[in-house]
Amino acid sequence: MLNHSLEQRLRAAVAAILPQADLSTVQVRPAADTKFGDYQSNALMALAKQQRLNPRQLATQVVEKLDVSDLCEPVEIAGPGFLNFRVRPAALAARLAEAARGEHLFFRPAERPRTLVIDFSSPNVAKPMHVGHIRSTGIGDCLQRVLQLLGHRVISDNHLGDWGTQFGKLLVGWKGQLDRTALASDPIGEMERLYRVVNAACEADPAVLEQARQELVRLQAGDAENLAIWKEMLRLSQDQFDTLYRRLGVSFDHTLGESFYNPQLGAVVADLLARGIARESEGAVGVFSERTLPPKEDPFLVNRDGEWIDDPALVRKSDGGFNYMTTDLATIEHRIRTWSPDEILYVVDDRQAPHFRKLFLTFARWQPEAAGRVGLRHIGFGKIMGDDGRPFRTRSGDTIRLAALLDEAEERALAVVREKRPELPESEQAAIARVVGLGAVKYQDLLPNRQSDYVFSWDKMLALTGNTAPYLQYQFTRAHKVARDGGAYDITALDRVVPEDPAELALTRHLLNFGLTLEAVGEECRPNYLCNYLYELAVLYSRFYENCPVLKSEGDRRVLRLALCDLAARVLRQGLNALGIETTEVM
């Protein structure tokens, strides 16, 4: 919104003074403190330093070339060279009027839309989805929604773990110990049981391990019986995934699991060998360090007892099988060929950071031209902890199934709804509890900086005050109700009235920053920026609502306030939606 207009003009002014300057660093951002105005730019200080100029003098020269008088009060130069912009209420009101007319909702589509592939969720076949999948699924879905909203072309791809060593064990179990009745009632539970039983047997008896290996080899060689069983396991798992994704409101454009790339793996390794990028070692094939990087920064080296030794990326095991490095290389190649993305985002646990460093470097060595056209980014995240400071598990130490977790969230939310809204019919209570419960889980997960671990807490996520989904959802219902009770309003009045009350002004200013928040989320892949923006919006709306009577006010003032309620509600709903969180009109 306004920051873009100011930025453009500032860049023009800078270019007039310093024609050779890098204008991309010239940015206008919301002011750190409202006493400095609405927006500020710190860019001239950095620029002056770079060019060895006096920062205040440069600022003075630039400001002389800068005409923003239609939008702002005269630009102030403060401290060592900050530029402070104080937007005129009429300019704020004009943006409100545009939004009220439906011309925008305080954001605009990107000027240069990009194509992005987002790789997220990626659960394993034959295993239950558990808490560990919340983060990848929630963050990935949020990024998908935000980037789409900004007009980018987004391709979401669920890279299922559907082809790996675990299937050898599963096949042994399926053939020897399958309980058909159990499979019918709880297919995932039964497959999980089979895996556990055989896995334990493998540890106790090398013969069973060998048996599993042979089943895997047969499967990978295309044995009809094993393939049929594998497909059955896949189908049963996909049913589970579909149910959970529908419940979470998450969708994918593609579900190309690891098995999809199986036919290419041999060629990938052959090509790497032919080009001299990979070589044989101890019977396996791996990509080794080129020794061009300092050892500390080289992911293909590891220090053992003071000595730097090779830590290659293996692309073929000594038994001839491939591993996920190979699959991931083939996957990048396929994605580039198919979609020509500007970027591929991997929303995957931070523990895999070393893998991705190796993967990206290996791909760059393998296909330098293609690698030059695509940005490969690992969007890592931390763990979910219990309140005991250890990874979040059940009391008995088992992983918590995602379905059970969502059930509990809805149950706990329902208890609150029953207490607060006993007069509502049961079906309505349940509907509210579903939206609030799921929202609470998702919001708690998106709120912390994604790189840090966070502590899972039912009480905190479902609290009705503080920075939680229920609080935001509640503020939405209040704003929405007032806007609805106010009825239709005369939009043309917004051309005659400007925000004056401090609460009106603060809310208006904040609404205008929705777009830059979405952009920041999209660029840095940090949903928490949006969470914090929405929380602040809710707080500012509450303050406005306490201080400024809406329905009891009159004339143009009433229209302005109604519009603020309406727009606050719309931004809250749109913003929550971008987080993958629903709203409800009654709570």
Partner RNA sequence: GCACCGGUAGCUCAAUUGGAUAGAGCUUCUGACUUCGGAUCAGAAGGUUGCAGGUUCAAGUCCUGCCCGGUGCACCA
| Residue 579, C-beta contacts closer than 8 angstroms, at least 6 positions apart | 142, 145, 442, 443, 446, 527, 530, 531, 534
Phi, psi of 367 (to 5 degrees): -130, 75
Piece in contact with RNA (CB under 7 A), picked from 56-64, 92-100, 305-313, 490-498: 305-313
Piece in contact with RNA (CB under 7 A), picked from 171-179, 202-210, 400-408, 441-449: 441-449
- Can residue 351 be called a binding residue for RNA (CB under 7 A)? yes
- Can residue 314 be called a binding residue for RNA (CB under 7 A)? yes
CA 401 distance to own-chain centroid: 22
Piece in contact with RNA (CB under 7 A), picked from 172-180, 266-274, 278-286, 570-578: 278-286
Distances (CA, A) of 37 to 63, 65, 256, 547, 552: 16, 20, 50, 22, 31
Q: Which residues pair with 377 in a beta bridge?
A: 345
Other beta carbons within 10 angstroms of residue 43's beta carbon come to: 25
Query: What is the smallest separation between the CB atom of 308 and RNA, expressed in angstroms?
Result: 8
**14 versus 183: smaller Cβ distance to RNA:** 14
Piece in contact with RNA (CB under 7 A), picked from 182-190, 401-409, 454-462, 572-580: 454-462
Other beta carbons within 10 angstroms of residue 27's beta carbon come to: 17
Sole binder of RNA in the list 111, 282, 369, 423 (CB under 7 A) = 282
Query: What is the smallest separation between the CB atom of 29 and RNA, expressed in angstroms?
Result: 6
- Can residue 3 be called a binding residue for RNA (CB under 7 A)? no
Site residues for RNA, 160-179, by CB under 7 A, read 161, 164-166
Sole binder of RNA in the list 440, 542, 571, 581 (CB under 7 A) = 542
Write the binding mask 233 to 262 for RNA: x where contact by CB under 7 A, - elsewhere.
-------------------------x----
Sole binder of RNA in the list 373, 449, 491, 496 (CB under 7 A) = 449
List the one residue out of 467, 431, 482 whose CA is nearest residue 421: 431
**183 versus 322: smaller Cβ distance to RNA:** 322
Sole binder of RNA in the list 182, 273, 277, 539 (CB under 7 A) = 539
Write the binding mask 60 to 99 for RNA: x where contact by CB under 7 A, - elsewhere.
------------------xxxxx-x---------------
Query: What is the smallest separation between the CB atom of 66 and RNA, expressed in angstroms?
Result: 15
Sole binder of RNA in the list 451, 492, 496, 500 (CB under 7 A) = 451
Q: What share of the chain is helix, strand, coil (3-state, %, to 5)?
A: 60, 10, 30
**284 versus 370: smaller Cβ distance to RNA:** 284
Site residues for RNA, 95-134, by CB under 7 A, read 124
Tokens representing 99? 């939004």
Structural contact between residues 445 and 134, judged by C-beta atoms closer than 8 angstroms:
yes
- Can residue 434 be called a binding residue for RNA (CB under 7 A)? no
Tokens representing 136? 């990848």
Q: Which residues pair with 310 in a beta bridge?
A: 301
**144 versus 517: smaller Cβ distance to RNA:** 517
Residue given tokens 């013969």 in the structure block: 207
Sole binder of RNA in the list 111, 305, 423, 554 (CB under 7 A) = 305
Q: Coil, strand, or helix at residue 395?
A: coil
Structural contact between residues 381 and 139, judged by C-beta atoms closer than 8 angstroms:
yes
Category of 436 on φ-ψ map: left (φ > 0), alpha (ψ -120 to 50) or beta: alpha
**183 versus 444: smaller Cβ distance to RNA:** 444
Q: What is the CA radius of gyration of the chain?
A: 28
Applying CB under 7 A, what is the total number of residues that bind RNA?
A: 112
Using CA atoms, how far apart are residues 220 and 162, in angstroms rounded to an integer? 12
Site residues for RNA, 458-487, by CB under 7 A, read 460, 463-467, 470-471, 474-475, 477-478, 481-482, 485
- H or E segment and range at residue 118: strand 115-119
